[in-house]
Chain A
């Protein structure tokens, strides 16, 4: 099975900050990497698919990139509504797997 390791597991930041979350796959997954945002009591919401494609309706301050088995989600300027938990997920091979999550909190 493919293991997805996210870092950090939690992060404190302020409105306006630039934030980066990293996800590392245990083997090559090409660009089959997706990013989700989850707020308490809500379903996850797709932000980025195929490593760097912005889902329709998602603000352009969110972006994704890839380098080998390392993937990055960047929020260019944090907004109050961005404080949430973020998950990466590989869809290269079943069983699909998620990272353990990164909780983004207000500093």
Chain B
């Protein structure tokens, strides 16, 4: 059974770059699309973007200028970088696998990132 686990700092200062990694276990990162989603406290879900194992990416235009998603197949990991963060970027960040079909069938447990000085 594939499992995903987010890791990274829980506190980031305003204007700095948020960096998170998702480690995939129980299966290969190859052959699939992998996504990042976030959820500000008490609100709904926002799709950030996805990456194919080969490295091709698609981002949400609302975040595109600040987002980079990358993949490291040798480590079975993919990563998120979000630059120039503000308090509005405070959220629980989830990683997920896009399957079956184009749904998000496998999720990490999520990690809360707070943007504060």
Interface residues of A (CB under 8 A from B): 1, 32, 34, 36, 42-46, 49-50, 53, 55, 87, 89, 91, 94-101
Chain B residue total in the interface (Cβ 8 A): 21
For the complex, is B56 an interface residue (Cβ under 8 Å from A)?
Answer: no
Question: Does the CB pair B61–A32 fall under 8 Å?
Answer: no
Question: Does the CB pair B44–A49 fall under 8 Å?
Answer: no
Residues from chain B with a CB closer than 8 A to the CB of A100 are 44
Complex CA distance for A53 and B99, rounded to whole angstroms: 12
The segment from B11-19, B22-30, B107-115 that touches chain A is B107-115
Question: Does the CB pair A89–B45 fall under 8 Å?
Answer: yes
**Which residue, of A1, A44, A45, has the highest number of chain B Cβ atoms within 10 A?**
A44
Main secondary structure of the interface of A (DSSP, over half): loop
Question: Does the CB pair B47–A43 fall under 8 Å?
Answer: no
For the complex, is B117 an interface residue (Cβ under 8 Å from A)?
Answer: no
Complex CA distance for A100 and B46, rounded to whole angstroms: 10
Residues from chain B with a CB closer than 8 A to the CB of A94 are 47, 58, 60
Interface residues of B in 6-64 (CB under 8 A from A): 35, 44-47, 58, 60-62
6 A-B pairs with C-beta separation under 8 A = A44-B94, A44-B107, A46-B104, A49-B101, A50-B101, A89-B45
Q: Give the contacting residue for B44; candidates A32, A91, A101; CB below 8 A.
A: A101
Question: Does the CB pair A36–B104 fall under 8 Å?
Answer: yes
Question: Does the CB pair A49–B60 fall under 8 Å?
Answer: no
Question: Does the CB pair A46–B62 fall under 8 Å?
Answer: no
Question: Does the CB pair B94–A49 fall under 8 Å?
Answer: no
